[in-house]
Amino acid sequence: MSYFLGLDISTTGSKALLMDATGVVAGVAASPHTLQTPQPLWSEQDPREWWQAASACIRRMLADSGVSGADIAAVGLTGQMHGLVLLDAQGEVLRPAILWNDQRTQAQCDEIHRRIGRERFIQITGNVALTGFTAPKILWVKENEADLYARAARVLLPKDYVRYRLTGVCAMDKADGAGTVLLDLRARDWSDEVLTALEIPRAWMPPLYEGPEITSVLTPEAAAATGLLAGTPVMAGGGDQAAQAVGVGAVEPGVVALTVGTSGVVFATTPTALIEPQGRLHAFCHAVPGLWHFMGVMLSAAGSLQWYRDTLAPQMGFTELLEEATPIPAGSEGLQFLPYLTGERTPHPDPLARGAWVGLTLRHTRGHLTRALLEGVSFGLKDSFTLIQEAGLGEIRQVRASGGGTKGALWRQILASVLETELVTVNTTEGAAYGAALLAAVGAGHWSDVPTACATAIRITGSTDPDPAQVEAYARAYPLYRELYPTLRATFAAM
């Protein structure tokens, strides 16, 4: 039997996932990464540690599963997006990678908008320049580490450095490439206009491939390090969010992936390169050839519930907390919660935004507080859905939910009623690594295309429909929620 390997280079660790020819997960192994914060707002990792962790977890996964490296038909890659890896002409790492959550580059973001024009930049790349993205990190190195910048010869993203160590080839997929904000979104290729304006040599940027395309094959050296077979093809793969969408089957317009983890991500496949005019949504290429996607990001989704439990009810389990909230009527009898505990990204890119309960009375109990929190996070996610529909996506037929926040029936029901659409769960739980394995299988010819692979391997395991009475209550409460941030923005900034 042939197997397919999905390799996920995340912030916290590397994960190797083995999938058999029927789509069943046959083995998983992980190795942790360390994180460095040498100055306030900085977040860095050593790319060489990713390679050590990746090769270690591949060897462990093969040993634990009893599968030979010769039985692996193809490798797919995914990982954390936006991180800057700079190599010199000999392929050596020049400095620690500057990660997606690094916040040092606001001045460079402003400079990008000044050079190109904010509106023009949005129209080319589909996004505003944000501190998390790759392009402002390159400018920061130029302005602050000129000696290193002068030695630079290649720009890679985290998973693509591991690809380089596996194959000796520099390459990047178009989904992850779009997250550099150096891509012409409609052309699915590097933007000469942006590169020229930012004085970044095009020669630094690697060739771009669609997610299932073969980029290169394993070298003998990498085979010795991992236990895989030299000559094994390595597919382009995708950034973690695009691969996560493949892993749950959100690979066609109208099917949205909703991840309710510490943060919340709304991922909507689009048939063309749709752009939200103000750049309030991320617009990137999909890992599925010929498709694009919108993405809205909420910084504190299930993280809000985690903070609430840990801070105000540490003696209680989550199940017990949610049981108290279940009999509370939809709308929490006038109580609202703003989930901006760590600032916000979509639709309010405001690091100074803060959390709040608004509307407290003597009647409200802990159950009300809990339910209001669940509803507030759901309203915050609805903000992304609203922007996606206003930007031209059209009908949302189904939402495929994953992440710890969707495990409880109460929150699933609230989400379905707030979003006014069917909410389903699927049989896959390994997310991005599983999506990378599916992309590898498609590239190897095991399935004809990504939608066919997803239809074969992914099954719906549960469904929650909107409750008509709740829909009516939330239709009254949501406009009040939307008024709160504009009303309190100046107060948050003053605080």
Picking from 227, 215, 108, 105, the residue whose alpha carbon sits closest to that of residue 164 is: 215
Beta bridge partners of 266: 258, 296
Residues in the chain, how many? 495
Q: Which two tokens stand for residue 59?
A: 């060897």
Closest alpha carbon to 215 in 169, 180, 265, 259: 169
CA–CA separation, 272 and 24 (whole Å): 32
CA dihedral over 170, 176, 179, 182, signed as positive or negative: positive
Contact 396, 387 (CB under 8 A): no
**Active-site choice (20, 240, 350, 465):** 240
Dihedral sign from CA coordinates of 85, 183, 14, 344: positive
- Residue 451 neighbours by CB distance under 10 Å: 16
Q: What is the torsional sign of CA 145, 146, 152, 157?
A: positive
Judge whether 46 counts as a catalytic residue: no
How does DSSP assign 380-424, residue by residue?
HHHHHHHHHHHTT-----EEEEESGGGSSHHHHHHHHHHHTSEEE
What letter represents residue 108's amino acid?
A: Q
Give the residue numbers marked as catalytic. Answer: 240
